[in-house]
Amino acid sequence: MPDLKLLHGTRIVATPVALDKAVWSQDVLALRIAPDEVFVTPAISAAFVDDQHAIVAPDAGFAGAWIVSDEALDFLERSCEWELPRERPAFAQGAVAGLPVKLWLEDDRVLFLVPAAYATDLEERMA
Amino acid sequence: MADHKSSRVIVDGNPIEFSAGDNALVVMLRAGIHPTGGGCLCLAGDCPHCLATVDGVSYVRTCQVAARPGMVIKRHPSDAPPPLPLDHWSGPDTIARHIYCDVVVIGMGESGRAATAEAQRNGKHVITLDAGAGQEVIGVYPGPLVVARTREGMVHVYPREGIVVATGAAEIHPVAPGNHLAGIVTARAATHLSDAGINLGRVVAVGMPPEGIAVEQADGELLRFDGVDRVEAVVMCNENGSERKIECDTVSIGLGLCPRDALLRMSNGLAVRVVGDAARTSDIPSCPKAGTVCHCAGVTMDDLESVRERGFHELELVKRATLAGTGTCQGSVCLPYIRSFLADRGESLQPPFTARPVTRQLTVGEVAASSYHQATPRTALDGEHRRLGAQMERAGGWWRPWSYGDTVGEYWAVRKGVSIGDVSTLGKMLVSGPGALELLERLYPTKVATLKPGRSRYVLMLNERGYVLDDGLICRDDKTRFTLTFTSGGSSFAELWVRDWAESWRLDVRLLNQTMSLGAINVTGPFAHELLARAGVGDPPQYLHHRTATVAGILCRVFRLSFTGEVSYELHHSVADSVTLWRRLLRLGADLGIKPHGVEALLMLRLEKGHIVVGQDTDFDSTPRRINHEWAVKLDKPDFVGRRAILRTDKAPLDRQLAGLEMEGPAPAEGALIWKGSDYVGFVTSSAFSPVLGKAVMLGWLKLLEGELPAEVTIVGRPARRVPTPFYDSEGSRARS
């Protein structure tokens, strides 16, 4: 059973144009979870987004765990009724094991993110 | 064939040895056991005559199952369906794998292999499914989606470009009196059994003879099979009309082929290509004079004649009238004969009937493989509640502590001391941007512009018909930024509602749903001030104000409000800090008698204050006037969602209204009917015995009688009175103190 941990990050809501132009540091993972929203982890102290009305909020609402690719893809083959992107790295999100999951797929590992409120359920379903 | 007797299966309680390579049917036949007592066997998975219960699963085609050591086979009762399993299934869950490809090829005979090779030459990613390898396709669905049962579980294949059906052809079975006897096999089955080392005895061939077996050919028209349980002779009609009886031990049937095209016939409109024998035209046997046509549903030639005489001349209607073709084999045996029958009776040769998934019997576990029940989210304090012994319930779409075991004690902690409650489930949304004020002005029936930064206001959310969708707070953070709260159960819809309108009005706003990112703890009771002071907040916000503060070392947004009727502060904070904050508050309030309160106590407390719960006390058509919330609607605003409908409906006389009710004795159940004499006048929506008032208090819908709400009514046979709300602290001085 994976041990999902709260993932500290920053959620940024801004205009899609501003987010398209934003450049993120090499040491953070910036996941574009909606046209107007990015989740950056680990948390960043300031967001250089060209939108004076942007919402920049610290966030620990996701729980996550890195899983090695073979194990992750085996689980996803059983629990994901949509086709995963083939390129790597890639971001994908949708229902996995009946839960709202976000995936960051790298060559040798996959980050599973789920709202912390569903972390227990995802752990049980991945066990 | 290997002749090494290595293992045993159990058939009806008796151990039977089997050889490597045997399927379960061959094992039984070698031991002289016919799984269903009789009927023509095909050994190809087409007929219903080898069904049995295998390892607890009924309707298994034993010819398609490899024998395994310890396999338990039970024959179905001859006169009833197999019994449902009584034991709780404790085996592993059946899984389903989801596989994506360009082309899926079903069947790996010669034509299937050719189709696979062709697709691969064209650079396609091909998935093959072959029943011979234990991959039984049970259905083709829109998507397209091909579902197969395999030895490892279910497989769901999603082909991007097409489906190739290469499932071959089934042998046509005999229809004649006596076709229920044992000892009748198709020609291919005869060869298969002979190869497996089974002594078939004296074999007579009807039609095409089997390969590799010495047989006596029976010429002429098949009339009947003679025998008691097992065939002893086959009777043929010669060209001159005379009968010829040929004694035998086994009859081999070679009456032609019909395509195994059920997957094609269920794939209307999908990109399905049929190749090989599956694409052939069906042989149509001559129309029999008598005998069972459909063994699954017990349909005879007489039955076909009967329904035809009643006017059923279309193949699809004959199927529905007789149920022939709807059973285990899905028409594999009967379809050629029904077509033949109708053609013989003067109808044109009609195309095969539509097929529908599933082609094979499935277990519930296989149908539900890798499907999941809807998960109920848990707050960050879920573990704390369980550790404290809370009875957890699903409420408002979340797991919530219903009670910690002493609901009345929890209630009194709020009324007389201090208590904390987990309200993390409330919807929370940030709205920012130059269009934020306009969005909220147009969305809500309150005057948002008059709300100063740092202030909060209770609001109703209405739909275009002026009906109440949700309620909550608007909290103004600064000129262009607001925090909205919604009910726990309504927050998902409310978020969509806000987003849809923002987009429809093309307003320049940013929206962030923080429901699952922020925890919220309600500190409530006369000693709430004291507890906050101990937690480092000596100057908490005033009633309906909010500000940021560090509470017990945790950064919070502190909202002063009240749902319980006592002084209350909602502490919104990162879910990462919920457990720490919760524990520190409990520790700081220990000598104040602090107790956490559950939802049950909270519902009692709010009811005493007459606060509604949207969805419980409201209906789909509850207007502010019907729920006595006209004060929350400012009709002198230029416009808001629902305004025009309210202006229109306000002109109509009020027909019913939510009202406060009280009665002596225990509280009636929520939903109890309300009577005026013998007339039904409404029902109770919320009900609780009020510890502080010593009587039952309720909210309920009442019809107006002659323009007035009835003052005295009867509920569960007891008198009740209509009274104004709030029931408790009607001036609201306690919450504001």
Give B568's strand partners. Answer: B524, B561
Residue B93's pLDDT is what?
80
Of B403, B329, B404, B387, which is closest to residue B360 (Cα–Cα)? B329
Q: Which residue of A has its CA nearest to B376?
A: A118
Q: Are A99 and B96 inside 8 Å of each other by CB? A: no
Q: Which of B98, B372, B377 sits opposite A117 (nearest CB)?
A: B377
The interface residues of chain B toward chain A in range 559-578, judged by CB-CB distance below 8 A, are 574-576
Please state, in angstroms and as integers, the Cα–Cα distance from residue A92 to each residue in A66, A101, B159, B164, B363, following that order: 15, 9, 20, 30, 33
Residue B4's pLDDT is what?
47
Residue B2's pLDDT is what?
44
Residue B80's pLDDT is what?
86
Give B139's strand partners. Answer: B147
B86 touches chain A (CB under 8 A): no
Q: Are B510 and A117 inside 8 Å of each other by CB? A: no
Of B521, B595, B533, which is closest to residue B557 (Cα–Cα)? B521
CA distance B86 to B100: 38
- pLDDT, tens digit, 9 for 90 and up, residues B416-442: 999 999 999 999 999 999 999 999 999
- Residue identified by tokens 């916000």 is B541
Please state, in angstroms and as integers, the Cα–Cα distance from residue B442 to each residue in B451, B458, B460, B478, B630, following that order: 15, 16, 13, 18, 17
SS3 per residue for B146-183: EEEEECCEEEEEEEEEEEEECCCEEECCCCCCCCCCEC
B504: closest CA of chain A, how far (Å): 16
Per CB-CB distance under 8 Å, the chain A contacts of B380 are 116-117
Tokens found for residue B131: 């029943």
Assembly ipTM: 0.97
The interface residues of chain A toward chain B in range 60-119, judged by CB-CB distance below 8 A, are 60-61, 77-81, 83, 97-99, 115-118
Per CB-CB distance under 8 Å, the chain B contacts of A60 are 517, 574-576
Per CB-CB distance under 8 Å, the chain B contacts of A54 are 432, 510
Give A102's strand partners. Answer: A93, A113
Mutate to test the interface with A, among B575, B579, B580, B581 (most CBs of A within 10 A): B575
**Residue ranges in chain B modelled with pLDDT below 50:** 1-5
Of B350, B291, B267, which is closest to residue B316 (Cα–Cα)? B350
Q: Which residues make Cβ contacts (< 8 Å) with residue A20, sequence separation at least 6?
A: none
Q: What is the mean pLDDT of residues A23-47?
A: 94
Handedness of CA B112, B113, B118, B124 (dihedral sign): positive
B75: closest CA of chain A, how far (Å): 34
Residue B228: exposure state from Cβ atoms within 10 A (0-12, 13-18, ≥19) = exposed
Q: What angle do CA B470, B517, A49 make, to 5 degrees?
A: 105
Q: Are B432 and A60 inside 8 Å of each other by CB? A: no
- pLDDT, tens digit, 9 for 90 and up, residues B252-268: 999 999 999 999 999 98
Please state the pTM of the whole predicted model. Answer: 0.88
Indicate the residue type of B731.
E
Q: Are A77 and B99 inside 8 Å of each other by CB? A: yes
B496 touches chain A (CB under 8 A): no
Give B153's strand partners. Answer: B150
A34 touches chain B (CB under 8 A): no
Cβ–Cβ contacts within 10 Å for residue B728, how many? Answer: 19
Q: Are A117 and B574 inside 8 Å of each other by CB? A: no
B232: closest CA of chain A, how far (Å): 52
Q: Are A57 and B508 inside 8 Å of each other by CB? A: no
B141 touches chain A (CB under 8 A): no
B586 touches chain A (CB under 8 A): no
Per CB-CB distance under 8 Å, the chain B contacts of A41 are none
Residue B6's pLDDT is what?
61
CA distance A23 to B533: 44
Sheet holding A37-41, edge to edge: A29-34, A37-41, A5-13, A55-68, A109-115, A99-105, A90-96
Q: Are A98 and B512 inside 8 Å of each other by CB? A: no
Q: Which residue of A has its CA nearest to B518?
A: A61
B579 touches chain A (CB under 8 A): no
Q: Are A53 and B517 inside 8 Å of each other by CB? A: no
Q: Are A61 and B156 inside 8 Å of each other by CB? A: no
Per CB-CB distance under 8 Å, the chain B contacts of A36 are 510-511
Per CB-CB distance under 8 Å, the chain B contacts of A77 are 97-99
CA distance B231 to B202: 11
B356 touches chain A (CB under 8 A): no
pLDDT band at A46 (very low <50, low <70, confident <90, very high): confident
Tokens found for residue A17: 């144009």
Handedness of CA B531, B533, B535, B539 (dihedral sign): positive
CA distance B399 to B378: 5
Q: Which residue of A has its CA nearest to B482?
A: A55
CA distance B70 to A86: 43
Mutate to test the interface with A, among B157, B160, B510 (most CBs of A within 10 A): B510
Residue B489's pLDDT is what?
95
What is the three-class DSSP state of B585?
Answer: helix
Residue B347's pLDDT is what?
87
Q: Are B97 and A115 inside 8 Å of each other by CB? A: no
Q: Are A117 and B156 inside 8 Å of each other by CB? A: no
CA distance B182 to B201: 13
> What's the DSSP call for residue B230?
B
Q: Which of B95, B379, B480 sits opposite A78 (nearest CB)?
A: B95
A123 touches chain B (CB under 8 A): no
List, in sequence order, every beta strand (DSSP E) within B340-438.
391-395, 398-403, 419-422, 427-432
B463 touches chain A (CB under 8 A): no
Mutate to test the interface with B, among A10, A51, A55 (most CBs of B within 10 A): A55
A9: closest CA of chain B, how far (Å): 11
